[in-house]
Structure 1
Amino acid sequence: MTDSLLAPAPGFDQPIAMLKHCHDKIRKQLATLQKLLEHLPRHGADASAQQAAQAVQKYFNTAAHIHHADEEIDLLPMLDATATGADLETVRRLRPDILLQHKRMDDAWHIIDAQLDKISNGTGSELAPDAVNTFVQMYTAHMEIEEGHIAPMAKRLFNAHQMQVLGEAMQRRRGIAPAGGTSNDNTVGGIALADLRMDYGRASLSEEDTLGDPIAQFGKWFDEAMKAQVNEPNAMSVATVGSDGRPASRIVLIKQFDARGFTWYTNYDSQKGRQLAQNPHAALLFFWPELERQVRIEGRVERTSAEESDTYFYSRPVKSQLAAIASQQSAPIGSRGEMEENYAAVERANDPAAGSKPQRPAHWGGYRLVPERVEFWQGRASRFHDRIVYSLQADGSWTKGRIQP
């Protein structure tokens, strides 16, 4: 007998079936967990128990989180943006419960995971029946809700393009890049650049969806970008303008955001440092294509305190500290070899064996953009995007409103 009689696993071109396939895997792991509960009193943490514990841990510590992100970041927002009438009422009734269930299941899993750690390495054999049974019941009920309401609705409402968008998002979350082409003579995969476009349809954004404070709303979106495994969600474009009126932009990494603003670190003598000295205003841009989102932030820029700059500088790897000392950022240099020589000289001068360590140079430190305008942009179909803008008022409060795409 060949395995041709076995039903193949669905592909990412069938994202709803793929999500159901994930549920089947969850049920398999739950069954293993229950068998382990019966096995341990008789056999202890033997080789079979260790293998079973490791398999369950591997799934719920990795794959389950990815599956939850599929639902939280893609499936549910897409349904919210697509459904109408009774369907929309159902989505908005069930969505908060599903998200809360994810959190409660995660909390319950942490208790079991700690016990499985000891079973996995053979140092313990305790597995609490109440914790396991509660976890199994929670997951079983959760999957019944999704399979009874959410999955059938998605299959009924999503068009072919939305299914493709959902499937590709799931691929990227698992580190599998959708097939693409190469560019040549203004074409990509044989398509002229002028005709190269992707319609958006993953989510919507309304005034009611956003929080009252733009920093809190940014934190919410940033957390969702992290869960969606966006490629470098902390990367942002910083645009500055000097006294000559000519703009310049570059990508840097945000290191902190809070009620005071958005912070990054750099060389104060670099091009952006010189431009900010002449004109202390800048614009930041975060672009998260996996979520079809961007955030634009404009405001005045100030330097962080020396204490803050010290704290971050000394938290960096030593080699990064040395590089900050050795490089005169944006200044011309003859060759890579000269750069390497400069670095080597700094490294010799800061040899820990000689009792010395790098000191933060006065020309290196942080900038903080204090926001005055923040725009949240959510891609929508037919370029009819959602744009919600927050504006800072004279009394320190924020107003928000919609602007046209």
Structure 2
Amino acid sequence: MSHTLFDTAPDFSQPIAVLKHCHDRIRKQLETLRKLLAHLPRHGADAEAQQAARAVLKYFNNAAHLHHQDEEHNLLPMLQATARGADAALLAELTPAILAGHEQMDRDWSIIKSQLEQIANGSGTALSADDVARFCEAYADHMVVEEGQIAPMAKRLFSPDQMAQLGSAMQLRRGILPALPTSQVPEQHAAPVNHTVADGVVLADLRLDYGRASLTEDDVLDDPIAQFGKWFEEALHAKVNEPNAMSVATVDADGKPSSRIVLIKQYDHRGFTWYTNYESQKGRQLRANPHAALLFFWSELERQVRIEGKVVQTTAEESDTYFYSRPVKSQIAAIASRQSAPIANREQMEANYDAVAAVSGEHPLRPAHWGGYRLDPERIEFWQGRRSRFHDRIVYVKQADGSWVKERLQP
């Protein structure tokens, strides 16, 4: 019932083949598990049983988790960023079940693991046939979906650059020198900085090459707001971390710029809307100079959107609608805080909050100094990262009649 665990694997230049090879090794370990189940009643935890238990433990404690991470952190996100139309719909249908399957198999493994550990050290012979059957069936069904649907889609959609990036990420996860320079693999960003090197040199070496997607003039829609909506939906679908976070850059009366991150609350053909304190630094700067720039950066998709235009306040009715949709505690915080103004300490902030809460009750009134801003876009640029800093940039510029003209910019 024994077999070698070190059969020859495909090269990481063929990452989908490597994933299939992982499935083949899983099947071998599942077969070992079934044979062990039959072996124990006749022979107990003898040397052969202990060896088999250790082999299964070794694989599912280590390699199987790496395989799941390959899919969760690289393969599926890359497909989500690339798939369109029927492919995207199928992926949206399959992905939740695949991720749920990983979680279920991890739970099932934790049960079998404790049984195998006792067999491996000769202290026990119990191995539940029901637990083994459930574990094996779950993996078998899971692999059928991935080999029948996910792998063919990846082979069909991924460019050579994407295949290289996927393979390099998988190598790095296993402690193998990637086929790409390590600076071109996103996972390398988690590596600690070598502080023995001069800071300037280290920073200069922090260069990530991109290659998950491309952007051509034919890819983008004629309407930049619709195109933004398309990318925003893809960011949501790809579970980008806070896709609604955007940088707002403003300039004061002396021409000095400043920027900060806020959360977009609405976008439509009128523009891009967020809410804040009108007496804050950005509020004062927008009174002096109503022109501003927004920036969305979705690193998981290697995309950014730059938006420039003139800012106006939303109507009182719009500000009311959003203010009263917020949790009461957030409403009280908006009233209590003189945003951007100095204060002695946190304790004073808390005291101000408590004072407002004491008089506001459950229905605070929106203060006149708090409301919305809407940037009416005049220029919108869509940026898609590409290899060797040869990025794709498509910009839309609004014309006097309200129409948009788009063109490609050099990186």
Of 290, 297, 303, the residue aligned with 2:300 is: 290
The aligned amino acid for 2:282 is K
> CA deviation digits over 1:272-322, x for unaligned, max 9?
101111111100011111111110000011111111111111111111111
Alignment of 1:127-142 (within 5 A): none
1:321-336 residue pairs with structure 2 within 5 A?
321-336=331-346
- State yes or no: 1:221 paired with 2:210: no
Q: Which of residues 72, 80, 98 in structure 2 aligns to 1:72?
A: 80
Alignment of 1:41-80 (within 5 A): 69-74=77-82
Q: Aligned pair 1:180/2:191, yes or no?
A: yes
Cα separation, partners in 2 of 1:187 and 1:361, compared to 1, 3 Å = farther
- In 1, Cα distance between the equivalents of 2:237 and 2:23? 19
1:198 to 208, 216, 221: 208
- TM-score normalised per structure 2: 0.64
Amino acid at match of 1:371: P
**1:289–1:105 CA distance, 2 compared to 1 (3 A):** closer
1:16 aligns with 2:16: yes
Matches within 5 A, 1:194-273: 194-273=204-283
Q: 1:374 aligned to 2:363?
A: no
**1:315 and 2:321 aligned:** no
1:98 aligns with 2:87: yes
Q: Which amino acid aligns with 2:372?
A: G
Structure 1 residue matching 2:215: 3-state secondary structure: coil
Give the counterpart letter for 2:380 in structure 1: V
Distance 1:168 1:212 in 2: 40
What residue number does 1:384 align with?
390
Q: Indicate how the Cα distance of structure 1 residues 98 and 18 shifts in structure 2: closer, same or farther if over 3 A, else same.
A: farther
SS at 1:345 equivalent: helix
1:163 deviates by 2.7
Tell me which amino acid in the other structure corresponds to 2:359.
Answer: A
Q: Which runs of 5+ in 1 are unaligned?
A: 28-62, 77-94, 110-138, 170-175
Hey, what does 2:365 align to over in structure 1? 359
Which amino acid letter does the alignment assign opposite residue 358 of structure 2? R
1:204/1:386 contact within 8 Å kept: yes
TM-score, structure 1 normalization: 0.65
- Using a 3 Å threshold, how does the CA distance of structure 1 residues 165 and 256 change in structure 2: closer, same or farther? farther
Residue 132 of structure 2: aligned partner:
none
Q: Distance in 1 between matches of 2:359 and 2:195?
A: 48
Which letter maps to 1:317?
P
Other structure's SS at 2:218 match: helix
For the pair shown, which has the larger CA radius of gyration, 1 or 2? 2
Give the unaligned 5+ runs of structure 2: 28-70, 98-142, 174-186
Deviation at 1:398, TM superposition (A): 0.7
Identical amino acids, percent of aligned pairs: 60
Structure 1 residues 166 and 222: alpha-carbon distance in aligned structure 2, compared to 1, 3 A threshold: farther
1:264–1:366 contact (8 Å) kept in structure 2: yes
Structure 2 residue 386 is matched with structure 1 residue 397: no
Matched, 1:347 2:318: no
Displacement of 1:197 after TM fit?
0.8
TM-superposed deviation, 1:96? 4.3
1:22/1:67 contact within 8 Å kept: no
Rounded to whole Å, the distance in 2 between the matches of 1:157 and 1:345 is 59
**CA displacement at 1:151 relative to structure 2:** 2.9
Could you tell me how far apart the structure 2 residues matched to 1:274 and 1:149 are? 52
Three-state SS of the structure 2 residue aligned to 1:324 is: helix
For residues 158 and 320 of structure 2, what CA distance do their matches in structure 1 show? Answer: 51
Deviation (angstroms), 1:98: 2.3
* Secondary structure at 2:282 match in 1: helix
Structure 2: how far apart are the matches of 1:205 and 1:168? 28
CA contact (8 A) 1:378 1:387 kept: yes
Structure 1: distance between partners of 2:218 and 2:172: 28
* Cα distance in structure 1, aligned partners of 2:161 and 2:273: 42
Whole-Å Cα distance in 2 between the matches of residues 238 and 376 of structure 1? 17
Q: CA deviation at 1:384?
A: 1.0
Residue 206 to residue 16, structure 1, CA distance change in 2 (3 Å): same
Instruction: Measure the CA separation in 2 of the matches of 1:105 and 1:96.
Output: 14
Contact kept? 1:165, 1:201, Cα under 8 Å: no
